Structure 1
Amino acid sequence: MRARVPVLAAALWWGSLTAIGFMAVPLLFVHLPTPALAGQTAAKLFSAQTWVSLGCGVMMLLASRSPGEPARMDWGRGALVFVVAGLLCALLQEFAIAPRIMARENLRLWHGIGSGLFALQWLCALVTLCKLAPGSRPA
């Protein structure tokens, strides 16, 4: 079962990003009465998503090493780099970008940067999942 933990964590990470970013948040803007209400609700979903991402990332990082040994850069055919990059994107979104968006500080700029970081995190999660999935071809 220990060998499956990283794949399950990567699947949860990528799947939750996909569900939140490409289904739940767009539906908020379609069905809630005002864009402001949709934006506030989306911010809460994105914040919760950050913690899901961090939890999945920590599980993958812990599983990337054998007991008593440091994590190896070649773990999961290089997946470690994408896990760390994705976690960095999540942290930047939560603690650097989101406060500026909520303060409505240069909203167009910060929303664009936040969207870019979300897309980059989504790609990191996808690459991680593809590298860890059983039966995937070597990169």
Structure 2
Amino acid sequence: MSWKARLALLAAALWWGSLGAIGFLAVPLLFANASSPAVAGNLAGHLFSGQAWLSLGCGVVLLLSARDAEGRATLAWGRGATGFVLAGLLAALLQEFAIAPRILARENLAFWHAAGTAAYGLQWVCALVVLWKLAAWREQT
């Protein structure tokens, strides 16, 4: 396996693993142990923002890896993983620049928290599919 293929697999694993660790472990622990829900919410916001930037970085690495030997983008890459990378990146961008500012402004919190949860869940599913497809694709190449 080439270094480029290994880097793509590492980026997919980091993307999916970090989404799971923050969303399913770190943030719930914050709310269970912080001195107040306001403190936990503030810290969770910083974690989610950092996660969005990490997602974008992993997505860029994955998209750059989706090129053939001549440097052309290929849709066959990763058995169709490119679309899931793009969907996950769109969800991260929406979360960081459309949803999070409304939560910080305390606009319709129930709706925007639900939208944020949906966007985060979409990222998690997209990252999982990308990791799954890349692992299967690497086995065949």
- Does 86-95 or 67-76 show the bigger shift? 67-76
Distance 2:69 2:89 in 1: 23
Length-normalised TM-score, structure 1: 0.94
CA contact under 8 A between 1:13 and 1:52: conserved in structure 2?
yes
Structure 2 segments unaligned to the other structure (5+ residues): none
Distance 1:55 1:67 in 2: 22
Q: CA deviation at 1:67?
A: 5.2
Quote the sequence identity (%).
61
Extract structure 1 runs of 4+ deviating beyond 2 A.
66-70, 134-138
2:43 pairs with 41, 52, 71, which one?
41
Report the counterpart of residue 78 of structure 1 in structure 2. 80
- Secondary structure at the aligned position of 2:52 is classed as helix
Q: CA deviation at 1:66?
A: 2.5
Length-normalised TM-score, structure 2: 0.93
How many residues end up aligned between the 2 structures? 138
CA contact under 8 A between 1:130 and 1:136: conserved in structure 2?
no
Report the counterpart of residue 107 of structure 1 in structure 2. 109
Q: CA deviation at 1:94?
A: 0.1
Distance 2:109 2:139 in 1: 42
Distance 1:61 1:36 in 2: 37
Q: Deviations over 1:9-55 (max 9, x none)?
A: 00000000000000000000000011011000000000000111011
CA contact under 8 A between 2:55 and 2:89: conserved in structure 1?
yes
Aligned residue runs from structure 1 range 43-58, under 5 A = 43-58=45-60
Across the aligned residues of Structure 1 and Structure 2, the Cα RMSD in angstroms comes to 1.6
Q: CA deviation at 1:74?
A: 1.7
